[in-house]
Amino acid sequence: MDASVAGSSGLTFTKGHGTGNDFILVLDPDGLAPTDGPFVAALCDRHRGIGADGYIRAVRSSSLPEGRALLQTEPAAEWFMDYRNGDGSVSEMCGNGVRVFAHFLLQMSVAHLPEGGELAIGTRAGVKRVARSGDGYAVDMGPWEFIAPDAAVSRGMDSLVAVGGLDVDRPGLSISMGNPHTVVALAEYEELGRTDLNRAPVVDPAPPLGTNVELVVPSDPLVGDDGVGRLTMRVHERGVGETQSCGTGACAAAAATRFWAGPTAPAHWLVTVPGGVVGVTFFDGPEGREHVQLSGPAVLVAHGTLLNGS
């Protein structure tokens, strides 16, 4: 194993995923486990490390400055999801990751989530509330918003996106779910299949902090007899590349498609990603803004301990 990983021998970890979006999780109540970029990147390397899209530390909120700030208004958020992308960069949030994180806390017996109850989790995008659902967990992801609202409302787009495998740049609509996303609609599944997401799409103009890019094909018909909207998605994540799934990206993709579809579009959506299917539901939040709920499975697949590499 890479030397930067071997230097942390004895670190106990768990591997988990949500619809194929996979993570290395570490129970680290006091915030002592390493988080430097080279360590995380080496750990997440799929050939020389364990391999994952991201690295998550479960830290008591009282042990991190960001967590202590949240506790002032959200004292129930005992645990903070300290998330890094696979390249070691810090990320605000991860929708699949927060479900897996909640499942990890429950399996490690450091948190409790009764039927009908909620588990408050601190993140860099605020407190997220997790409940049990039929297929795993449902998370109130908070409100969504346009990154460039004037352009979004007046033109239905705010950027042009160059994607490998597509001959011409496509219009994109940028949405914040606490982290940035740019959604591009494609006309058919053949287009979606031939795109190359090994390279990051070029978004012009790009949101100030960069962006994740979702390519979506709305179903035809868009809304089924059950009143549920459906779409299929692929995603390129900042600092990771193409992943099997992206929870915040699925929320952004549904929000953009719903906006394009107009006022009669449904509140309930199913988003098919390479790793499975997640549910997205829009509802009125307590502060009068529209919130997004993400639901889907969370799976833990292995526990282990880093070796010294000798």
Q: Which residues are catalytic, by number?
A: 94, 246
Instruction: Tally Cβ neighbours within 10 Å of residue 288.
Output: 7
Whole-number CA gyration radius for the chain: 19
Q: Give the span between the Cα atoms of 35 and 26, in whole angstroms.
A: 11
Bridge partners, 280 (sequence order): 269, 294
What are the beta bridge partners of residue 282? 292
Distance in angstroms (rounded) separating the CA atoms of residues 308 and 119: 36
List of residues 6+ apart from 149 with CB closer than 8 A: none
Q: What angle do CA 284, 290, 291 make, to 5 degrees?
A: 90
Any idea which residue has 């219009």 for tokens? Answer: 171
Residue 38's contacts (CB-CB under 8 Å, 6 or more residues apart) are: 4, 88
Site of tokens 């988990």 = 16
Residues with Cβ within 8 Å of 286's Cβ and at least 6 positions away in sequence, in order, are: none
Closest by alpha carbon to 68, among 122, 1, 148? 122
| DSSP for residue 201 | P
| Size (the chain), residues | 310
Residues 6+ apart with CB under 8 A from 175: 144, 145, 146, 147, 181, 182, 183, 252, 255, 256
CA 119 to CA 79: how far, in whole Å?
10
